[in-house]
A and B are shown apart, each in its own frame.
Chain A
Amino acid sequence: MSVAVERVRSDDLKRRNRRRRLAHGGILALCLTYVAALLALPLVGIAWTALKPGWRTVTSTYAMADVQHAFYLTAIITVMTVVVTTLFGVVVAWVLVRQRFLGRGLLNALVDTPFALSPITVGLACVLLFGRGGWFEPFFAARGIQIMFALPSMVLVTVFICIPFVIREVQPVLEEIGTQEEDAARTLGASVTQSFLRVTLPNIRWGLLYGIALSTARSMGEIGAVLLVSGLIQGKTETATLLIFRWVEERQLAGAYVVALTLAMVSILIILAIEWLKRKRVREDA
């Protein structure tokens, strides 16, 4: 009699387990489908569309002067943006964490502002400040310095958009590690610079690198703001994204897809770096 009961019980258990596994499997399948539809499939799609015409198209696209200039310009803007936002980002993070003053809350809120603005608005603001009739236009025009439709404006808008990244990644780390090690370094004779370079910087390095990776990716992919300020001058102020934009409008889809695929590949590299950095960061906290 007890054997029969046990068999019933195990059947029940088996049924429950099977139902649970189905439910889990269902959720997993749903998630995978969603991600596939939005990202994985499109990624394959762009690779296929770009490479379908053949490898010749790819090489000929890369050989074009416009394309080479576009990549070069994107790289320059990215490097300059990352340098500026990293240097000032660390300073701002330091001031927000280690100093107490009236208006600190306001300053903190300002840091989040770029997340709230559409890139097109950023471009518009640049036009209003440096374009014809703009607030600063007379000052620069008088000195013969070109801001609009040239590199400076493009860097400015990209910097604006990337401001929060380094700051928001370094701030929590600075909070967590506290001042103890820096105090110890000072008692041991380290100057403020030495203490920062030898003690603080190594302690914040993963958060810092993570912020730099995010800034790099964002600078590379910027389109909305530069659309307004660059003037779209071929061969002079056309970034890789602007090039893609123009070619799609001109129905030169083959080349556009090749450049887009290139950018996608670089992004994947950055993502791999980000995933690696994420793991490093978690290990530090543990």
Chain B
Amino acid sequence: MSTPIRVENLTKHFGDFEAVREVTFTAEAGKITALLGPSGSGKSTVLRMIAGLETPTAGRIWMEGEETTDKSVQERRVGFVFQHYALFRHMTVAQNVTFGLAVRKMPRTEQRKRAEELLELVQLGPFRDRYPEQLSGGQRQRVALARALAPRPRVLLLDEPFGALDARVRQELRRWLDDLHRELGVTSLLVTHDQDEALELANRVVVMHEGRAEQIGTPDEIYNEPATAFVAGFVGSSSVLHGHVVDGHVQMGPHRVPGADHLEEGVAARAFVRPHDVRLSTAENGESVRAIVERVSGLGWLSRVVLRLPDGQVLMAELPVEEVSHLKLGDEVLVDLRKSKAFMAPQTEETASELEAGEERRAR
């Protein structure tokens, strides 16, 4: 049982502030595990505790079966890639890459060989004598990666590695990291707030929110079977519809949507509907809902349609262009919301506004 990383009930308090609350998960060997969450969710803190850069208030950490909770950073032999690169500004690219080897007193010739290997790997061979300030952001991050990999670490920890880069470079590097990982097979733990990144790169995703691990699963599970309202709202885009639970459905006025079997009768609930799960219905049946078309905008072969329900709530739909070509503003349509997921409505104002904010972000 030598899982590369296992954490159990990891907790961190900064004074009164509970940054991480009893997080438990394992990382699969050779795969990328993502810690996904909004800023302030504690994901970077978890990563830093695994690296040894922070000491946990409670909880334990194992690496390859060995408990490392009390071990020093140096003893843990992790490769760490920082969001802002943290390259040694007074050293050349080559010196940066060989740093981890130099402190372990590897002979110079071997250091140089390993540096060559890695610089080839990250395609920065000709830059070996440049200084970090002479490189672009994307290049710096590749150097940081080479540097982290040089001492052959047991695991690779990446703290929002592409957060400081602009969108296009981010996409390129994401693809590049994917290829690299396929080639090297190092167990990796990736912290990110970008769900596209997590869903694209990771084999397993730990969704974090306010210090807790809300759900752990494959990208597919996270996306299609969210376990909590937060996950449903945070991952992918959804419309949120408010109503009350009646007979396993969420009732909103005269209409209702399924998906509330697990909730108590009568409680206030919210149903999360993905835009591409909205279908135009041909015939009236108990499950379909009336809606007015408010706006139609083209997205290539998809059209984004903004619908308004009778009780005033807004529903976003993504439908193939052919299906909506005949629609005009103000038309009434029937829609099927078969795959909605319902969760209990949150008690506090805060969580409510947070979820709404997430929803608004997606709606753009």
Q: Is B86 an interface residue (CB 8 A)?
A: yes
Known: A188-B103, A189-B104. A180 touches B53 (CB 8 A): no
Q: Is B308 an interface residue (CB 8 A)?
A: no
Compute how far the CA of A70 lies from the CA of B82 in the bound complex, rounded to whole angstroms. Answer: 55
Compute how far the CA of A202 lies from the CA of B96 in the bound complex, rounded to whole angstroms. Answer: 14
Closest residue on chain A to residue B73 by CB atoms: A186
Cβ of A192 to closest chain B Cβ, rounded Å: 9
Q: Mark A140-168, 1 if CB is under 8 A from B, else 0.
A: 00000000000000000000000000000
Please state if A181 and B74 are interface contacts (CB–CB under 8 Å): no
Please state if A188 and B53 are interface contacts (CB–CB under 8 Å): no
Please state if B86 and A184 are interface contacts (CB–CB under 8 Å): yes
Q: Is B51 an interface residue (CB 8 A)?
A: yes
Please state if B74 and A191 are interface contacts (CB–CB under 8 Å): yes
B interface secondary structure, majority: loop
Instruction: Give the residues from 164 to 206 in chain A that come closer than 8 angstroms, CB to CB, to chain B.
Output: 180-181, 183-191, 194, 198-199, 202-203
Known: A189-B77, A190-B99. A181 touches B89 (CB 8 A): yes
Please state if A199 and B88 are interface contacts (CB–CB under 8 Å): yes
Please state if B89 and A184 are interface contacts (CB–CB under 8 Å): no
Compute how far the CA of A203 lies from the CA of B100 in the bound complex, rounded to whole angstroms. Answer: 18
Please state if A186 and B84 are interface contacts (CB–CB under 8 Å): no
Compute how far the CA of A184 lies from the CA of B53 in the bound complex, rounded to whole angstroms. Answer: 10
Residues of chain A within 8 A (CB-CB) of B79 are: 187
Residues of chain A within 8 A (CB-CB) of B51 are: 187
Compute how far the CA of A202 lies from the CA of B77 in the bound complex, rounded to whole angstroms. Answer: 25
Instruction: Give the residues from 90 to 110 in chain A that come closer than 8 angstroms, CB to CB, to chain B.
Output: none
Number of chain B interface residues as a range: 20 to 34
Please state if B90 and A203 are interface contacts (CB–CB under 8 Å): yes
Please state if B151 and A189 are interface contacts (CB–CB under 8 Å): yes
Cβ of A206 to closest chain B Cβ, rounded Å: 11
Please state if B86 and A183 are interface contacts (CB–CB under 8 Å): yes
Please state if A202 and B90 are interface contacts (CB–CB under 8 Å): yes
Cβ of A5 to closest chain B Cβ, rounded Å: 53
Cβ of B131 to closest chain A Cβ, rounded Å: 12
Number of chain A interface residues as a range: 10 to 19
Please state if B74 and A183 are interface contacts (CB–CB under 8 Å): no
Known: A180-B84, A183-B80, A183-B82. A188 touches B151 (CB 8 A): yes
Compute how far the CA of A286 lies from the CA of B73 in the bound complex, rounded to whole angstroms. Answer: 32
- Residue in B53, B89, B104 whose beta carbon sits within 8 Å of that of A187 in the complex: B53
Known: A190-B74, A190-B103, A191-B74. A185 touches B80 (CB 8 A): no
Instruction: Give the residues from 34 to 58 in chain B that come closer than 8 angstroms, CB to CB, to chain A.
Output: 51-53
Please state if A188 and B89 are interface contacts (CB–CB under 8 Å): no
In this complex, the member of A181, A186, A187, A198 whose beta carbon has the largest number of chain B beta carbons within 10 angstroms is A187
Cβ of A181 to closest chain B Cβ, rounded Å: 5
Compute how far the CA of A184 lies from the CA of B51 in the bound complex, rounded to whole angstroms. Answer: 10
Cβ of B32 to closest chain A Cβ, rounded Å: 19
Q: Is B142 an interface residue (CB 8 A)?
A: no
Please state if B90 and A186 are interface contacts (CB–CB under 8 Å): no
Q: Is B147 an interface residue (CB 8 A)?
A: yes
Residues of chain B within 8 A (CB-CB) of A202 are: 88, 90
Please state if B84 and A187 are interface contacts (CB–CB under 8 Å): no
Closest residue on chain B to residue A187 by CB atoms: B80
Compute how far the CA of A210 lies from the CA of B89 in the bound complex, rounded to whole angstroms. Answer: 20
Please state if B86 and A188 are interface contacts (CB–CB under 8 Å): no
Please state if A188 and B99 are interface contacts (CB–CB under 8 Å): yes
Cβ of B46 to closest chain A Cβ, rounded Å: 15
Residues of chain A within 8 A (CB-CB) of B87 are: 181, 184
Compute how far the CA of A187 lies from the CA of B151 in the bound complex, rounded to whole angstroms. Answer: 10
Q: Is B319 an interface residue (CB 8 A)?
A: no
Please state if B88 and A186 are interface contacts (CB–CB under 8 Å): no
Compute how far the CA of A187 lies from the CA of B50 in the bound complex, rounded to whole angstroms. Answer: 11
Closest residue on chain B to residue A205 by CB atoms: B90
Residues of chain A within 8 A (CB-CB) of B53 are: 183, 186-187
Please state if B73 and A187 are interface contacts (CB–CB under 8 Å): yes
Can you identify 16 A-B contacts, CB atoms within 8 angstroms?
A181-B86, A181-B88, A181-B89, A184-B82, A184-B88, A185-B99, A185-B103, A187-B51, A187-B73, A187-B148, A188-B103, A189-B77, A189-B151, A190-B100, A191-B74, A199-B88
Residues of B at the A interface (CB closer than 8 Å) are 51-53, 73-74, 77-80, 82, 84, 86-90, 99-100, 103-104, 144, 147-148, 150-151
Residues of A at the B interface (CB closer than 8 Å) are 180-181, 183-191, 194, 198-199, 202-203
For the complex with contacts A184-B87, A184-B88, A189-B77, 5 further pairs of A-B residues with Cβ separation under 8 Å are: A180-B82, A180-B84, A188-B100, A190-B103, A191-B103
